[in-house]
Amino acid sequence: MYRDILDKASEGRGLSRDEIQELLSISGTKALGELWETAYNVKKEQFGDKVFTYGFVYFSTFCKNNCSFCYYRRSNSIDRYRKTADEIVSLSESLQDSGVNLVDLTMGEDHKMHADNCRELVDLVRKVDSAVSIPIMLSPGAVDESSFAPFRDAGADWFACYQETHNRKLFAERRIEQDYDRRFDQRTWARKYGMLAEDGIMVGIGETYADVADSIVQMGKQGCEQIRVMTFVPQEGTPMSSSVQKSREDELKVMAVMRLAHPDRLIPASLDVEGIEGLIPRIRAGANIVTSIVPPHMDLAGVAQKDLDIDSGRRFIDNVIEILEAEGCRVGSNNEYGNLLNTLRGRSA
C-alpha cells in the first residue's frame, strides 16, 4: 500500500527496490498529491527552504556521437558552434556576477576538446577557475580515466555524465555505439579522483517502471552526490522526432521517488524541459537545485530544448529568484553552497 511506503520514507527508514517500483506505479490525483507532499517535506527536512542555482554554458555543440534522442547527434545537419576560451570565461564571469552558485560547462563529445587527453578542456577549466570563485561543474561526455586528475587539479568540482538508463539493452538502442561500462565508470572515476559526481536518467525513451526503479537503486549505490531526471523532448531531425513526449507528471513522479529513496542527494529542477513554467512543480516534487539558468542574448543553446525561454530572459536568475521567493523558498548563498559541498566531500572521503 503506497501510504505505508510514504510513511516509511518520511521516517527515514529507506526504500527497497520493490517499494520504489510500487511508488512509481501510483496514479490518481490524491495519491500523487501525497507523493509530492511527502517528497517536498523530506526535502525541507534535509535542506530547509534553501534552493541553489546553477548557471549553464553549453559551449560546444559538436559531437562525435549519435544518440537517437539528441538534437546535437552527429548525423543531424544543424548549425553548430564552439565558443572561444575568452567567450566562455566571460560568460562564466557574468553568470557569477548574476548570483548563481555554480557554473556548469557543458559540451557535446567534441573531438577537438577531447584530443590529447583533453588538454584544451583542462586549460579551459583552469582559465574559468582563475576568473570565478564559484564552483565549476564539467559535463564533457565520456573521457579516459587519465583526464580526471587534471580536471580536478584545474579546478573542476563536479563531473556530470548521465547514463540516461541503466537498462543495458535500452542504453544500446539510445546511446548508439557507446560503451555502457565506460559511461558508468565516468562517475566512479570522478569520485575516485576527488570530484563530486552527477548521474541522470531520462523518462520517455522506452523505459519501464522496473527500469526506473533499477536506475534509482543504481544511482544510490554508485554514490553520486547529485541525481536527476529529465523528460525526453522529441527533437527535429532525429530518429525519435515523432515520439510522444511523456507528461510532466511522469518526471515529477520519478523526481519525488528519487527524493524519498535518496533524501540527502541534490536533485535538480531543470528549466530545459518546460522553461520557467516547469520550475515550481519540480520544486514541489522535491528538487533543491535549479539548473540550466542561461544568460539571454549570448547565442547559447539548451540541451533538451535549444532555445526555450532563453532569449526572452525568462530563464535568467532574477526571474528565477522572484518565482522561488514567491513560493517561500530562499536562494542559498555561495557560502552555504560551499559548506554543502564540503559536507558532501566529507561524506564521500
Distance in angstroms (rounded) separating the CA atoms of residues 19 and 23: 6
- Quote the least distance from Cβ 239 to ligand SF4, whole Å: 12
Instruction: List CB contacts of 96: < 8 A, sequence separation 6 or more.
Output: 55, 103, 132, 133, 134
From the number of C-beta atoms within 10 Å of its C-beta (0-12, 13-18, 19+), residue 124 rates as: buried
> Whose Cβ is closer to ligand SF4: residue 57's or residue 63's?
63
Sort 17 into a burial class: Cβ within 10 Å, 0-12 / 13-18 / 19+: middle
Which C-beta is closer to ligand SF4: that of 109 or that of 207? 109
Listed residue (3, 53, 16, 20) closest to 253, CA to CA: 20
Measured between alpha carbons, how far is 147 from 134 in angstroms, rounded to an integer?
22
Smallest separation (angstroms) from ligand SF4 to the CB of 292: 15
Query: Judged by CB, which is closer to ligand SF4: 41, or 178?
Result: 178
Shortest separation between residue 139's beta carbon and ligand SF4, angstroms: 9
Question: Would you tell me how many other CB atoms lie within 10 Å of the CB of residue 220?
Answer: 19
Rounded to a whole number of angstroms, the minimum distance from the CB of residue 256 to ligand SF4 is 25
Query: What Rg do the C-alpha atoms of the chain give, in angstroms?
Result: 19
Question: Shortest Cβ distance from residue 176 to ligand SF4 (Å)?
Answer: 9
CB of 64 to ligand SF4, least distance (A): 7
Residues contacting 35, CB < 8 A, separation 6+: 2, 6, 23, 26, 253, 256, 257
| Residue 73 beta carbon to ligand SF4: minimum distance, rounded to whole angstroms | 4
C-alpha grid cell, residue 291: 539548473
Question: Is the CB of 76 or the CB of 98 nearer to ligand SF4?
Answer: 76
- CB 126, min distance to ligand SF4, A: 24
Nearer Cβ to ligand SF4 (70/255): 70
**267: Cα separation from own chain's centroid:** 8
C-alpha cell at 130: 582563475
CB nearer to ligand SF4: give 69 or 337: 69
Instruction: Give the nearer residue to ligand SF4 in terms of CB position, either 169 or 330.
Output: 169
The alpha helices in the chain, defined as continuous H runs, are 2-10, 17-24, 29-47, 85-98, 111-131, 148-154, 168-174, 180-192, 209-222, 248-261, 279-284, 317-326, 334-348
- 52: enclosing H helix or E strand: strand 50-60
Q: Name the site residues for ligand SF4 (rule: CB under 6 A).
A: 63, 65, 67, 70, 72-73, 108-109, 141
**CB within 8 A of 256, min separation 6: which ones?**
23, 35, 36, 38, 39, 285, 286
Q: Which is nearer to ligand SF4, 101 or 163 (CB)?
A: 163
**If you search the block for the grid coordinates 525526453, which residue do you land on?**
232
Residues sharing a CB contact under 8 Å with residue 146, sequence separation 6 or more, in sequence order: 117
For ligand SF4, give the closer residue by CB, 47 or 56: 56
Least separation in angstroms between CB 172 and ligand SF4: 13
- β-bridge mates for residue 137, sequence order: 104, 158
